[in-house]
Structure 1
Amino acid sequence: MINTTTLTADIERLETLLADKLGARRGNLARRAAKAGRRLPKWVRRDLEFLSQCGHIAGHPQLASTVEPAVIARAVERSERHLSAIDVKERRIKTALGIAAGLIVQFVILFAVAVAVMRWRGLI
């Protein structure tokens, strides 16, 4: 049987972590996980969707007995451990460095093409 008070508290804690770490601030847990998209591994998104479904199931006494509390606790623990390990500053730095590296590669290619065209035309 699902304990609705602890499940609600766990879901709220995970929603707060998603908002703080990945910027997903709107919607329920499943919508926030979908919004985070590829920034989360597939198994974390799957666990978050499962927990969101368990939140809906918790309101129905007969359906609530079909889900084992150990499975819910494991999904909460795995998701919370992964979300807590995300470093926001490091993620932003990696994103900025990825964009800068892409721009540098494009400028090098553009420069090489410009030199090749100038050499082909006899300007160099």
Structure 2
Amino acid sequence: MSAQLPTYIAEVRGLMESKMWIKGCDLRHQVRKAGRRLPRKIRRDMRHLIDASRLDANPKLARMVNDDQIKKAHANVVAYLERLDPREAMWTRILNIAASVALALIVVFVLVLYVLVQRGFV
């Protein structure tokens, strides 16, 4: 039985809320909401933490929890989440939206110009 597992889970949940703005009733819901925003290896490590917490709830199954694997998974997840910058993610999202709008406007302008040339107005 891992005594630090609830602490690990609470720390990861707090980082998910503060760094990625993902809230949920437990870690499983937060990981599901994050989806592909998390790399595959980090999702796998979070799955180890979720499975360990489920096993840890049952005293007979708690012996199946591999403490070394849990510590390594926790270290990987925390290292990834601490590197994230919420402000940079927000600006990246804003710039992606602005670039999409600009591309759409350019395409519309080119199409309107093409139609005007074909009809002989320009």
| Equivalent residue for 1:98, pick from 88, 96, 99 | 96
Aligned partner of 1:11 in structure 2 is 9
Deviation (angstroms), 1:26: 1.5
Choose which of 24, 27, 52 in structure 1 pairs with 2:25. 27
RMSD: 1.0
Question: What's 1:79 paired with?
Answer: 77
AA aligned to 1:79 is: V
Counterpart residue number, 2:43: 45
Gaps of 5+ in 1: none
User: Identical aligned pairs, as a percentage?
Assistant: 27
Give the drift of 1:100.
Answer: 0.7
Normalised by the size of structure 2, how large is the TM-score?
0.95
SS class of match (1:65): helix
Q: Aligned pairs, how many?
A: 122
- Contact (CA 8 Å) 1:33, 1:48: kept in 2 or not? yes
Give the alignment's TM-score, normalised by structure 1. 0.93
1:88 deviation in Å? Answer: 0.3
